[in-house]
């Protein structure tokens, strides 16, 4: 049964203290997976650990981790390997964004977005690759964004980080194909999480897209259903992904028409 394929598997999730990371953890635990949950907020992780172990009887380990700190990434993953031996699935979910026009972007914010969304993701992936390649088994799931396919006004830096995630993932997929290691990118539109408490300080973007927002549990279920399958991309919602197709085919027309709508954030 499809619901049994995660039973006993070791799954590591970054950014697991809330949003879709926490929802993914709950669904994986319900399907019998053992979990390692990573995030900066250790208190929230410990609460989730207690809930999942009590409710589902699975093994859950939690570690405080800022993925932007590559020294921490190395230390934590080395400890994880000592504790559980191997990692079957890595979900790179940690990330954040700030919506500003390019001339208003602060250099500290730019660096932090790249350190978390790109360098941190690559650092975590680099830690699992040698053992996955040696075992010729594994799945890496990178949470990207529709912003990585369609660059929009006021998200130039965030879009750039997600473009980088997609480029990295696409190359990685080809490198790992002969090792039977799957690489999936998840490209959601706006999700109803606390992401926008940082990204959208004025609240204007949330107001303009509220009726289109995805629910975290819906996105999480799509991610968990894809685990250990040959799913290349998950694009949500499907109608929004049609915009990225139109962008590739008719970029000039899309930018001329789309900038008026997309500039509402």
Per residue in 81-111, pLDDT (tens digit) is: 999 999 999 999 999 998 889 999 999 999 9
d(CA 105, CA 98): 9
Q: Could you tell me if 259 and 153 are in contact, meaning their C-beta atoms sit under 8 angstroms apart?
A: yes
For residue 154, the tally of other CB atoms under 10 A from its CB is 22
Q: Does the annotation count 158 as an active-site position?
A: yes
Catalytic residue among 158, 179, 205, 247: 158
> 36: phi > 0 → left, psi -120 to 50 → alpha, else beta; which?
beta
- Average pLDDT of the segment spanning 151-171: 94
* Angstrom distances, CA of residue 113 to CA of 99, 130, 177: 11, 26, 29
Per residue in 10-26, pLDDT (tens digit) is: 999 999 999 999 999 99
0.85 surpassed by pTM = yes
Q: Could you tell me if 97 and 18 are in contact, meaning their C-beta atoms sit under 8 angstroms apart?
A: no
Instruction: Tell me the three state secondary structure of residue 200.
Output: coil
Q: Which residues, 6+ apart, have CB-to-CB distance to 124 below 8 Å? A: 12, 14, 67, 73, 77, 90, 92
């Amino acid at each position: 049964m499809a619901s049994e394929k995660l039973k006993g598997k070791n799954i590591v999730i970054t950014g697991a203290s809330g949003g879709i990371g926490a929802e993914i953890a709950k669904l994986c635990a319900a399907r019998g997976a053992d979990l390692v949950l990573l995030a900066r907020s250790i208190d929230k992780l410990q609460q989730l650990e207690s809930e999942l172990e009590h409710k589902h009887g699975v093994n859950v380990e939690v570690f405080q981790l800022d993925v932007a700190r590559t020294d921490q990434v190395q230390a934590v993953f080395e400890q994880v390997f000592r504790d559980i031996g191997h990692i079957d699935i890595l979900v790179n979910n940690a990330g954040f964004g700030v919506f500003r026009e390019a001339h208003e972007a602060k250099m500290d914010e730019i660096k932090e977005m790249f350190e978390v969304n790109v360098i941190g993701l690559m650092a975590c992936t680099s830690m699992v690759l040698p053992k996955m390649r040696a075992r010729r088994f594994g799945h890496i799931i990178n949470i990207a964004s529709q912003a990585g396919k369609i660059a929009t006004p006021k998200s130039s830096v965030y879009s750039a980080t997600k473009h980088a995630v997609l480029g990295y993932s696409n190359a990685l997929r080809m490198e790992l194909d002969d090792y039977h290691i799957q690489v999936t990118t998840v490209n959601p539109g706006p999700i109803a999480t606390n992401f926008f408490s940082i990204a959208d300080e004025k609240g204007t973007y949330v107001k303009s897209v509220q009726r289109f927002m995805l629910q975290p549990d819906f996105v999480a279920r799509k991610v968990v259903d894809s685990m250990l399958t040959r799913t290349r991309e998950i694009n949500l919602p499907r109608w929004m992904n049609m915009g990225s197709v139109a962008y590739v085919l008719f970029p000039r027309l899309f930018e001329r028409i789309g900038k008026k709508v997309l500039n509402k954030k």
